[in-house]
Amino acid sequence: MDNIVYERLHNNLSTLKLNRIKEIMDNYLERAIKEDISLTEALDFLLNEEKIYKDETSLRMRTNVAGFPYRKSFEQFDFNFQKSIDLKTINELRTMRFINNNENVVFLGPPGVGKTHLSISLGLEAIKNRYSTYYINCHELIEQLNRAHYENRLKDRLKNYAKYKVLVIDEVGYLPFDKQGANLFFQLITRKYEKSTIILSSNRSFGEWGELFNDDIIASAILDRLLHHSTVVNIKGNSYRLKEKVKTFNNVGGDKVK
């Protein structure tokens, strides 16, 4: 190949950001000539390699943006340990139909039963299915909204959270809301209502939300919107964290804990 053509080819690959092709092309073309691979086949191979590379990069970037505290899949979840979870419901959620229909999911249950794990697993599958996804802990969310409110940029902040097709709000209920916090949370829920999906986890049953939000009226308005189109997964079981602790404790020769 003449030098000018070779240089232009590489420059064009850079300009068009076809980095994977740029990286493998020289070796591959040599092989293609030796093995008598047709031009169509060669072009197909190179473009396919680029597509795989771009898909992987995009998946990695979108997963980083989501900001999960840890990454765990459904395959890593022991459903035998948590018998109260209906597998049919989980499998239905995994079809992603609820996201297409702008419906919500609420995981309820005491600490350690897998609420965060399952929210993350669903979030990771949503990302694989190209839905923009963002994870935030409720306390952090309220702090962010409060700050935005005082700095006169609440509208932008709400818009930012609303732009994600799937917003995972974790740990609702560990800390109580003050009046302002409840109001901001209500605004966010209203903004997303029937437009996109919220995956929410809480250790507090719905009956306790009036107390949690310090206001029965705002709590029922939030629940009304959140639950209108939703799947509620109520997990009644033991903490998986404690199960691990019990195993360690027994192994080091403590009194048997059942």
Using CB under 5 A as the criterion, which residues of the chain lie in contact with Mg ion when the complex forms? 116
Out of 114, 123, 173, 181, the only residue in the binding site for ligand ADP (CB under 6 A) is 114
Contact status: 112 vs ligand ADP (CB under 6 A): yes
Nearest CA to 231 out of 29, 79, 96, 112 is that of 96
Structure tokens at 203: 């250790």
Could you say which of ligand ADP, Mg ion, none residue 150 binds, taking C-beta under 5 to 8 angstroms by partner kind? Answer: none
Contact status: 82 vs ligand ADP (CB under 6 A): yes
* Residue placing its CB nearer to ligand ADP in the complex, 72 or 191: 72
Provide, rounded to whole angstroms, the least separation between the CB of residue 162 and ligand ADP. Answer: 25
Give yes or no for a contact between 105 and 98, defined as CB atoms under 8 angstroms apart. Answer: yes
Contact status: 241 vs ligand ADP (CB under 6 A): yes
Could you say which of Mg ion, ligand ADP, none residue 241 binds, taking C-beta under 5 to 8 angstroms by partner kind? Answer: ligand ADP
Contact status: 74 vs ligand ADP (CB under 6 A): no
* Residue placing its CB nearer to ligand ADP in the complex, 12 or 238: 238
Q: Is 107 helix (H, G, I), strand (E, B) or coil?
A: strand
Out of 13, 68, 96, 116, the only residue in the binding site for ligand ADP (CB under 6 A) is 116
| Binding flags for ligand ADP, 153-182, as an x/- string (CB under 6 A) | ------------------------------
Q: Enumerate residues 183-202 that contact ligand ADP by CB under 6 A.
A: 201
Provide, rounded to whole angstroms, the least separation between the CB of residue 237 and ligand ADP. Answer: 8
Q: Enumerate residues 200-239 that contact ligand ADP by CB under 6 A.
A: 201
Could you say which of ligand ADP, Mg ion, none residue 77 binds, taking C-beta under 5 to 8 angstroms by partner kind? Answer: ligand ADP
Give yes or no for a contact between 119 and 201, defined as CB atoms under 8 angstroms apart. Answer: yes
Give yes or no for a contact between 21 and 27, defined as CB atoms under 8 angstroms apart. Answer: no
Q: Please tell me the distance from the alpha carbon of residue 111 to that of residue 240, in angstroms, as a whole number.
A: 9
What separation in angstroms does the CA of 55 have from each of 24, 121, 127?
17, 19, 12
Q: Please tell me the distance from the alpha carbon of residue 232 to that of residue 119, in angstroms, as a whole number.
A: 12
Q: Please tell me the distance from the alpha carbon of residue 106 to that of residue 172, in angstroms, as a whole number.
A: 10
Cα-based torsion angle of the residue sequence 133, 139, 145, 149 in order, rounded to the nearest 10 degrees: 180
Nearest CA to 61 out of 127, 129, 140, 135 is that of 127
Give yes or no for a contact between 122 and 157, defined as CB atoms under 8 angstroms apart. Answer: no
Provide, rounded to whole angstroms, the least separation between the CB of residue 16 and ligand ADP. Answer: 42
Provide, rounded to whole angstroms, the least separation between the CB of residue 77 and ligand ADP. Answer: 4
Helix (H) or strand (E) holding 33: helix 19-34
Count of residues binding ligand ADP (CB under 6 A)? Answer: 16
* Residue placing its CB nearer to Mg ion in the complex, 104 or 137: 137
Helix (H) or strand (E) holding 70: none
Catalog residues that contact ligand ADP under the rule CB under 6 A: 72, 77-78, 81-82, 109, 111-117, 201, 240-241
